[in-house]
Amino acid sequence: MAKINFDALKTVDDWSGALDTLIAEGKAATRDNDSDKRLDVQAQLTDFITRSPSFAAPLDEVARAAARDLFIEQVDASLAALALRDADLKKATELLKGVAAKADADAKSIQFKKVIDILDRSKAALDELKKLEETLAAPNLDLLRKIKAANASIEEVMKAVTKPA
Amino acid sequence: MKVSTLRAKSFVVLLALSLLTSCTQLPDLKPFADATTRMAGAMRQGYAQTEGLLIRAELDSPRIDALRARWDSTKKAINAIVAYSDALAALADAGNKGEESAGALIASLEGVQTAVGALLPGIPNIPATVTTVFRKINGVVAKLRARKALKEAVNDADEALNATATILSLNFQELARLNRAAGQEILNKLEFDNNTLRDYHDALTAEKNQITPILTKMLAYQNKDNESTRPTIFSDLRNADPAFASDLDAATQALGAGATAAQTEALTLTLLRRRQQHWDERVLYLQGELNRIAPEYDAYQAKKDEIKEVIKNNGPAFSSTVIETWASTHSGLKSALAKKQRVTVLELTSVVNELIEIAESVGKEKANGKD
């Protein structure tokens, strides 16, 4: 769009005419949903306010209101544009999350994380069994629970050793 | 040749053959990880800055909330991309630390074995040679598994990643528009709110700037060293200060036609000094006013400079290049993984030599009946 030559504006009519031009351009930008044009008009309205002489102060109020309208229209247009792509983005994100989860699981499998974890828990259970053996003269409920846990862990070890990680 | 040595060597040959047809080099994931960090950082910073500007621009809460909700999908996509990049790095790390992982597994196994030994004495230890062979083999196997898993992950993600890159690029451009619009809105309101202050400041400055050359000329006229240029200075003074010219004309007329040059000069100097005093007082007043409004005016200027700087930096900060680079780095990674990479002779020789040494020591131990 054409730039307003603010240096050439002398009279109130000149300034008023320039403002009419900018408002018309702003309306056209909104009609065409042309964000670049809308932003350009917004910037020129700021120049208008900055450069207009004090005798054109009432026009500044109109320029200010027009600039605010253009700002709100831009926000609404951007929100609509973001909404338009939302479903596709969500779909692609879910796919990426799935791939990342599988890659994470693969990395853990290569590092034997699951087997090592089971082995460590089994060792702890076996240690408890050893303690149990030493105090078998006076068994109690707590010790019986520990025996059960130890048995379960040993079973897990057996499964892990016979299956790939 | 003893049976154990034969078995060991056969094993080594089989392993070497399998290695020959496989790939053990893992691609460099750093460029992709770095590009992901840069892209995620630029987008997160861009959003935070834009939301901050929109709040400064006094955008109503429902619209701010709507933007947060709309941007949520982009935020989640960025998080998923970072998690994906981290998962690839974890895979490569697992592949490069195959021997270490084997060591950790053996350590855990030995822990269980010790615990079992405490319950059932007489359980034999895992031979050191077996653990060493396992570590060496896993060093290679882990790389093979990691490479395969990396290839699968990158291929599976490629389409979704390219679609994400396109959408993120468009969303980033949308954010740039919002950022520019918010910046302009803040600037527009700032200029409107400070209309009176700015006009007053500009009027004071303009008047002061008009007076300064008059005073300079008045001083120059009174300087006797400027004898040759005095007529020009005098003429300029009359043009620059019409009130002085009319006062002088009236006074000269009152003096009469018979006045001497010395009398006229004395009259001129008297009027000039009186006028100079007037201008000095005026400048003093103007400067006083400028000083009085300076704190308010400087604060306005500082805000204006700051928001103009934000608008100026908006372009480079919201460049979609950072997203394009990130996507192309992923394509590069995909190409690297698609290439069949043979084991290098040096690498193969090194692994085979180590395994032969181990196998021979196993054979010797068996022959000596140690195992």
Helix (H, G, I), strand (E, B) or coil at B320: coil
B146, B91 contact by CB (below 8 A): yes
Written as six digits, the tokens of B296 are 């308010």
Q: Domain check: are A12 and A77 in the same one? A: yes
Q: Domain check: are A93 and A152 in the same one? A: yes
Q: Domain check: are A22 and A54 in the same one? A: yes
Q: Do B171 and A89 touch (CB under 8 A)?
A: yes
Q: Domain check: are A113 and A145 in the same one? A: yes
Q: Domain check: are A98 and A135 in the same one? A: yes
Which residue has tokens 């949903």?
Answer: A33
Give the nearest chain B residue to A70 (CA atoms): B181
Summarize pLDDT for A83-129 with one digit per residue, the tens: 999 999 999 999 999 988 888 888 887 777 777 777 777 777 777 76
| Residue A1 within a domain | no
| Residue A26 within a domain | yes
User: How do the domains of chain B map onto residue ranges?
Assistant: 3-193+318-367, 196-315
Q: Domain check: are A46 and A105 in the same one? A: no
Cα B261 from Cα B349, distance rounded (Å): 115
pLDDT surpasses 90 at B171: yes
Give the nearest chain B residue to A86 (CA atoms): B73
Domain count, chain A: 2
Q: Domain check: are A55 and A37 in the same one? A: yes
Written as six digits, the tokens of B101 are 């992982």
Question: Which residue intervals of B194-260 are DSSP H helices?
Answer: 195-222, 230-240, 242-255
Residue B23 pLDDT class (50, 70, 90 cuts): very low
Summarize pLDDT for B117-141 with one digit per residue, the tens: 666 666 666 666 666 766 676 777 7
Written as six digits, the tokens of B35 are 């590009």
Give the closest of B54, B112, B189 to A122, CB-based: B112
ipTM of model = 0.74
- For residue A44, the enclosing domain spans 6-84
Q: What pLDDT, on a 0 to 100 scale, did the predictor assign at position B257?
A: 82
| Residue A16 within a domain | yes
CA gyration radius, chain A: 37
Look at the pTM and tell me if it is higher than 0.80: no
Q: Domain check: are A96 and A57 in the same one? A: no
Closest approach of B253 to chain A, Cα-based (Å): 40
Q: What pLDDT, on a 0 to 100 scale, did the predictor assign at position B149?
A: 80
**Cβ-count burial of B239 within 10 angstroms (0-12 exposed, 13-18 middle, 19+ buried)?**
exposed
Give the closest of A38, A86, A119 to B111, CB-based: A119
Of A84, A105, A129, the residue that ends a domain is A84
